[in-house]
Structure 1
Amino acid sequence: MESGNFDKIKKRVFVVMDKFMNLFLIACGIIVFWILLQVTTIATFRIPSDSMDPTLLAGDNILVNKWVMGGRIFNIWDAIDGKEVKILRLPALGKIKRNDVLVFNFPYPAQWDSIGLNLMTYFVKRCVALPGDTFEIRNARYKVRGCDVPLGNAEAQDELMRVVESGRKTDYGIVMSGYPYNGLVDWDIINFGPLYLPSRGDDIEMNPKHVALYRNAIEWEQNKKLFLRGDTVLLNDSVIRNYRFKENYYFMTGDKVMNSQDSRYWGLLPEPFIVGKAVRVWKSVDRGTDEIRWKRILKQIE
């Protein structure tokens, strides 16, 4: 082969390799940008059930704004392995309000009396009470002391009350008993509370009732066990008379009141478990027909 032809072939190879490397670097850049976007700014989730009907339908794909609270930073590999992780947040550009729809990690992935982080289980519910609120349910209606704004889906709450009063709750498979499933606090899902939602730094007296209400949160914060001996409260083997909370807590409910596994049943949601605020439906597919619901595209979530 003549040297001139060899040089031409070599030059072409270098040109092809250069283009390939450029494409490879561009692809890597896009992937890194997408990961950063998912971590810091916005994420997408698909709605699998009807617990937020009519606001969200099964088959909706939603955009979640992480700027409101700040994106979460933590060791994802430790979280996947089930190890204890410390969750940090980027600076927030807003704040959560009552009636916002939030996406969060379900705080009870293993058992109902132990808070834990599971990255594979996400819920979407409506926030009806904020840290520092005193929340209660009376005749199925949600209330926060000092707040006159309707909370959650009022029509569905009234429907639940009508079903219960008519004696048809078993027809709908409604479970009446509610958090914290303790004889000291005998609540159900139509008459619940008052329950104070702890705010970071709040100091509460430790008595038998407060042990029933806040045991899960305190044990999760301290990674220790809370015991009650008579009226004496112990954290592991130390007597405590007061407790200062380290985190903020929220109360979450589904809009489909008669079919929603929410805070009425499992209690407080720790702030570190919140991913962000659901803002829009970007795609919606009817699971029965596989047809796109065009009218829901870019629908704002309210």
Structure 2
Amino acid sequence: MEISILTFIVLSLIYFIAAHVGLYKIFEKIGIEGWKALVPFYSTYIACKTIKKSWLWIITYYVPFLGFVVWMGIIVELMKLLGKTSFKEHFLGVVFAPIYLPYIGFKEDVKFIGYEEAAKYKKSTSREWTDAIVFAVVAATLIRGIYLEAFTIPTSSMEQKLLRGDFLFVNKLAYGARIPMTPIAVPFTHHSFPEWIPLVGGKKSFSEIISFPYTKLPEMGAIERNDCVVFNFPAGDTVALEAQDRVYDQLVRDMGRTQVWNKYTITYRPIDKRENYIKRCVGLPGDKIEIIDGVLKVNGETAYQDPGVQHRYIVHTKDYELSKKVLLDKKINYEFPVQEYMNPETGAINVVDFWRSKDKTIYNLTMTEEARKKLQQFPNVVNIEQIIDKQDSTTYADLSIFPNSNLYNWTVDNFGPLTIPKKGTTVELNEKTFPIYKVLITRYELNDLQVKDGKIFINGEETTSYTFKMNYYWMMGDNRNNSLDSRYWGFVPEDHIVGKAVFVWMSYSPHPEEGGFFSRIRWDRLFTKVH
């Protein structure tokens, strides 16, 4: 059930007004004039003074969302002064404040017991732990949901800027914190329980009984070109649970919808529960992007390329082979070793190892320009040639490449030109543009789109154009030939943006050949800023 923001505000006002009616009577029981509980700001000051808490409590009370933690503390401390000390009573006072606070406020046998008597109450060890855990979970959930969240880099798609095994923090306030759209969820989970938990492992860990439309707090700044941005995977709305590393739409193209639904368990995920991705924003709303022989162009100009950007090369050698240790030392990604392909009859994913030839004289490597220059100096290296995925009008279109249509024979290295949608701008709809904007119009902006007798109808009305309701972005990985990014699934809507990657706090190599635990910690990357 989706609740509008206006409805949420009204319900919140009812909650706090009813709760403060209870506080009015509680203040009177303690010996404070009841009207003081109804005066904004002043009531917070009086409450904190009454429970003998510092100005830090008052300041934190007015920090969005974190203030709820202080509100919990104020209620609990005031209830202690009335002799209400059990966990059950505190739970009722916080969760059902509009009902329970007036109840004890108007109940005549509930009286102020005095500070000395209240101080005599000592919690048991189990109660101390319970209160501490509840407080920590609530505070951490609020911080994680609104302010700062930790992420792990699982793939090499952003190498060499971000490496597999990097642990980083993402600032959710940077572009305006998005209010949780699906707020009822098990703490510290994203969309599913960890696989190792008995009975519920891998199962959904959230409920859609209550949901909110896209709303965000005021932004600290806008997304800038080349920012490292975390966002919810746009094509992750529908997922095959047994093949979550595969894009559902591509599965359907490869196998057919009927076979996919017969073979896999299919589920839908709301926006904020889709997988988190991190890529570099290379295109802003209104930008025109194009890739020519692996070179990214933005608005007709060659785009800035971070020194960590990697491309794929064929390396020819002689005399002796290149060892994996040498490649690691030179920051050359030898983990582009396999190519996956699907057996159309069984749906099985088969893997072919092709990072080097059998005679160990030809290598397929991914590396930065700096690494390429270093490798070129090796005495056994004969030649290094960049692999470019050319457009070929004589072959069928690659349907894994956006816009996933036979009308466009684009590749990862030769793509576009394409203009990124901008809020308020209008685009013409015709046979050529329809594949580009179909998903945007229906899946992201929730319109009914139909084609009848060659005519386009949006929400039942015939049209030849469409005006965008949101801004969109173009995201690409720095590891250009080993990144599932916008070249495959298109635009990223603004309501999918999570935040900005700010710094790496820990980095641990996934390569066992680098040594033991401490040897695999990348000490030079600890607490480094993400650019």
Structures share fold, TM-score greater than 0.5: yes
Q: Which residue, out of 199, 216, 220, partners 2:439?
A: 216
Please tell me whether residue 32 in structure 1 is matched to residue 261 in structure 2.
Answer: no
Matches within 5 A, 1:1-302: 14-17=120-123, 28-73=134-179, 74-77=181-184, 80-81=206-207, 86-109=213-236, 110=238, 111-112=248-249, 117=271, 119-145=273-299, 147=301, 149-151=303-305, 156-157=310-311, 159=313, 162-164=386-388, 178-229=401-452, 231-235=454-458, 237-289=460-512, 290=517, 291-302=520-531
Asked if the contact 2:294/2:388 (under 8 Å) is kept, the reply is: no
How far is 1:60 from its partner?
0.6
How far is 1:292 from its partner?
2.0
Asked if the contact 2:158/2:279 (under 8 Å) is kept, the reply is: yes
Q: Which structure is larger by alpha-carbon Rg, 1 or 2?
A: 2
Cα gap change, 1:148/1:187 in structure 2, threshold over 3 Å: closer, same or farther? Answer: closer
Give the secondary structure class of the aligned counterpart of 1:16.
coil
Give the secondary structure class of the aligned counterpart of 2:478.
coil
How far is 1:297 from its partner?
0.4
The CA distance in 2 between the partners of 1:255 and 1:295, in whole Å, is 20
Gaps of 5+ in 1: 1-10, 167-174
The CA distance in 1 between the partners of 2:389 and 2:234, in whole Å, is 32
How far is 1:266 from its partner?
0.6
The CA distance in 1 between the partners of 2:290 and 2:269, in whole Å, is 22
How far is 1:152 from its partner?
5.5
Give the secondary structure class of the aligned counterpart of 2:249.
coil
Which residue in 2 is equivalent to 1:7?
none
How far is 1:287 from its partner?
2.2
Cα gap change, 1:94/1:284 in structure 2, threshold over 3 Å: closer, same or farther? Answer: same
1 or 2, which has the higher strand percentage?
1
Cα gap change, 1:198/1:82 in structure 2, threshold over 3 Å: closer, same or farther? Answer: farther
How far is 1:188 from its partner?
1.5
TM-score scaled to structure 2, two decimals?
0.48
AA of the residue aligned to 1:251: W
The CA distance in 2 between the partners of 1:222 and 1:254, in whole Å, is 25
Asked if the contact 1:177/1:187 (under 8 Å) is kept, the reply is: no
AA of the residue aligned to 1:62: L
Give the secondary structure class of the aligned counterpart of 2:123.
helix
Moved more, 255-264 or 231-240: 231-240
Percentage of identical aligned residues: 33
Asked if the contact 1:204/1:242 (under 8 Å) is kept, the reply is: yes
The CA distance in 1 between the partners of 2:165 and 2:479, in whole Å, is 16
The CA distance in 2 between the partners of 1:82 and 1:220, in whole Å, is 18
How far is 1:69 from its partner?
0.9
The CA distance in 2 between the partners of 1:68 and 1:23, in whole Å, is 35
Cα gap change, 1:210/1:275 in structure 2, threshold over 3 Å: closer, same or farther? Answer: same
The CA distance in 2 between the partners of 1:232 and 1:40, in whole Å, is 44
Cα gap change, 1:258/1:115 in structure 2, threshold over 3 Å: closer, same or farther? Answer: farther
Cα gap change, 1:51/1:102 in structure 2, threshold over 3 Å: closer, same or farther? Answer: same
Cα gap change, 1:133/1:116 in structure 2, threshold over 3 Å: closer, same or farther? Answer: farther
Asked if the contact 1:104/1:276 (under 8 Å) is kept, the reply is: yes
Gaps of 5+ in 2: 1-116, 186-190, 192-205, 239-247, 251-267, 314-365, 367-384, 391-397
AA of the residue aligned to 2:487: R
Asked if the contact 1:208/1:233 (under 8 Å) is kept, the reply is: no
Give the secondary structure class of the aligned counterpart of 2:427.
strand
Give the secondary structure class of the aligned counterpart of 1:183.
coil
Higher relative contact order (CA 8 A, sep 6+): 1
Cα gap change, 1:37/1:115 in structure 2, threshold over 3 Å: closer, same or farther? Answer: closer
AA of the residue aligned to 1:288: H
Give the secondary structure class of the aligned counterpart of 1:275.
strand
Cα gap change, 1:63/1:268 in structure 2, threshold over 3 Å: closer, same or farther? Answer: same
Asked if the contact 1:48/1:58 (under 8 Å) is kept, the reply is: yes
**Residues 43-96 of structure 1 deviation map (CA, whole Å, 9 limit, x = unaligned):** 110111111111111111011111211111123349845788522101101111
Asked if the contact 1:66/1:275 (under 8 Å) is kept, the reply is: yes
The CA distance in 1 between the partners of 2:120 and 2:300, in whole Å, is 72
Give the secondary structure class of the aligned counterpart of 1:36.
helix
Moved more, 33-42 or 257-266: 33-42
Asked if the contact 2:295/2:302 (under 8 Å) is kept, the reply is: no
Number of equivalent positions? 283
**Residues 136-179 of structure 1 deviation map (CA, whole Å, 9 limit, x = unaligned):** 1111111110655414668535858821379xxxxxxxx89621
